[in-house]
Amino acid sequence: MLGKNLKKTEPNHEKENYSLRGYLFFWVGQLFSLIGTLVSGFAITWWVTDITESAMLLAIGSFLFLIFIVLFTPIAGVVCDRYNRKLIIFMADTFNALIMGVIIIFFYVGLTEPLLIIIINGLRGIGQAFHQPTVNAIIPSMVPKKNLSRINGVNYLLTSLIQVVGPMIGGLMYAFFPFEFILWVDILTYGFALVPLILVHIPQVISEQNKSLVLTPKKSFIKEFKIGIKTIRLIPGLLTILLLSMLLNFLFQPLNILAPLYVKVDHMGDENDLALLMACVNGGMILGGVITTIKKKWIHKVTVYFGGLIIIMASALVYAFAPIGWLLIASIIGAFSFMFLPIVNTIYVTILQTTVPKDKMGRITSVDQTLSYAIMPIGALVSGMLGDFFGTRLLFLILGLIGTFTVILVWQFSGIKKYDYNDEKFINQITENIKNGST
């Protein structure tokens, strides 16, 4: 009766169940889980680097993780729009914890072949493929629209803070604790994350169209994925940004994958130097997250977005020219560049969340991640080959130049700079086009 009365008194308003406090409680649990993931991931990465000094093995590890994300993310997006999102997150987190448990057992019984550990650890990409789109999809259903930009900024801020602390903890633990003990941190933090996940109510947003999809399991996943692609094409400028992201993700793979080798070989550093490099870069991301949290509205979204990308890609040039012994200085300069990463991400995610209907957010998020990640496995393998052929310094120089000039050319000739995502009429027209074109 109460529900019926509310419906009568507010006939012109969409009934929504926002739970901002619940979302923040849930996200705290996810941050605890992220700490364990970063600590164990750092330990495994440095262990492989320290034992093998092989760019190719590091590349293979990244390739396996990314290829599973690319293969399963399209399915994951459709699944999180059809079924219980809380259950999906639980299953994804549990799967990754079980994989880490297998790795721990392997070390206890003496199965410590680096390639074997890399292959098993790569399976965690399957869990990540289901976890990330689902977590992203629940945000608009739990956070009021007016708070989306700020909450996205807080997310990047807290995530960046954890990404500073995680590797530092991993570096310290690697120096003082047995390797197997470090991996147990991932299992422990998984347990912490379960508590808010179980207690918090996560709304399930299912439109009439999605209800029919639930009742007709023979509906093609490919067909639903195409709905997501069609929706993206109805948002002016979004496809251009996605294609640019694919290229930049490809170019950025060597920076991510070969960073341990860059520290150990080019600068003759150890695990603490790698942790320091990662801490400086993520420290810049924290500052960027603070800026996105404080700033309520970006007047020139597209201009700031492309300007930030140029600065980020130019950071590769800093690492290319940094002489031996200047790793700290290069890291500080890199921190300034990566300060713009949460800014450009917040702008992009806010555009996405304010133009896409909630019941299609899972599919759009999965398409977004699939297209962005699609080229990354190739980039991972190429990183290993190019890293061995050119060396990290020359490779960073080449990729930095290519990335910087590519962003400038897209900005100048694609026509994207004419779109104003702060114009309410423009946003409303996009929303109407999506409703009419994807039903």
pTM confidence score: 0.72
In one-letter notation, the amino acid at residue 348 is Y
Q: Which pLDDT belongs to residue 186?
A: 92
Would the CA dihedral through 368, 372, 374, 380 be positive or negative?
negative
b/e string for 242-268 if b means 16 or more Cβ within 10 A?
bebbbbbbbbbbbbebbbbbbbbbbbe
Q: How far is CA 428 from the centre of its chain?
A: 28
At 398, the amino acid letter reads: I
> Contact, 254 vs 392, CB < 8 A?
yes
CA distance 389 to 398: 13
pLDDT of residue 218: 43
What pLDDT is stored for residue 202 in this prediction? 79
The one-letter amino acid at 407: V
Q: What is the pLDDT of residue 5?
A: 43
In the numeric block, which tokens belong to residue 288?
Answer: 């960027």
pLDDT value at position 9?
42
CB distance 258 to 58 below 8 Å = yes
Tokens of 429: 């027209």
> Which residue type, as a one-letter code, is found at position 389?
F
Give which of 247, 301, 271, 275 is closest to 417, Cα–Cα: 301
Instruction: Find the helix or strand (DSSP H, E) in which 212 lies.
Output: helix 208-215
Res 147: pLDDT:
72
Query: Cα–Cα distance between 87 and 250 in angstroms, integer?
Result: 33
pLDDT at residue 207, as a whole number? 53
Distance CA 245, CA 375 (A): 10
Domains of the chain: 17-437 (1.20.1250.20)
- State the 10-residue block means of pLDDT for the chain, 439 residues long: 42 48 85 90 90 88 88 79 85 93 92 91 90 82 74 74 84 87 92 88 63 48 73 80 80 85 86 86 83 79 89 88 85 88 83 72 73 79 86 90 92 83 76 67
